[in-house]
Amino acid sequence: MKIPTRLIRCEWPPNDGVGPGNDRFDQIYLSIQKEGIKEPIVINLQWRVMDGNHRLAAARLLGIDTIDVRVWTETEFVE
């Protein structure tokens, strides 16, 4: 399912390297810029990122308004 990037909460302070200037982040940023986001991020029922902080940060910097997510309900994934 697609949801607005502005509604997703991420860990604060963010994980180390979630920002420009970090090699891993920069690679993800360039990949998303060229090919888009290939794998949905995973959020929980409180709309917090469980997996995909780098992808979310890159999407926001690139001005991507909506993003595919998988929701973990603590018992199963909802697509």
Cα end-to-end distance, the chain, whole Å: 6
Q: Residue holding tokens 């018992």?
A: 75
Question: Domain segments of the chain: what residues?
Answer: 2-78
Residue with more model confidence, 19 or 71: 71
pLDDT digits 0-9 by tens, 18-57 = 788 889 899 999 999 999 999 999 999 999 999 999 999 9
HEC string of the chain equals: CEEEHHHCECCCCCCCCCCCCCHHHHHHHHHHHHHCCCCCEEEECCCEEEECHHHHHHHHHCCCCEEEEEEECCCCEEC
Domain range 2-78, CATH architecture: Alpha-Beta Complex (3.90)
The structure's pTM equals 0.87
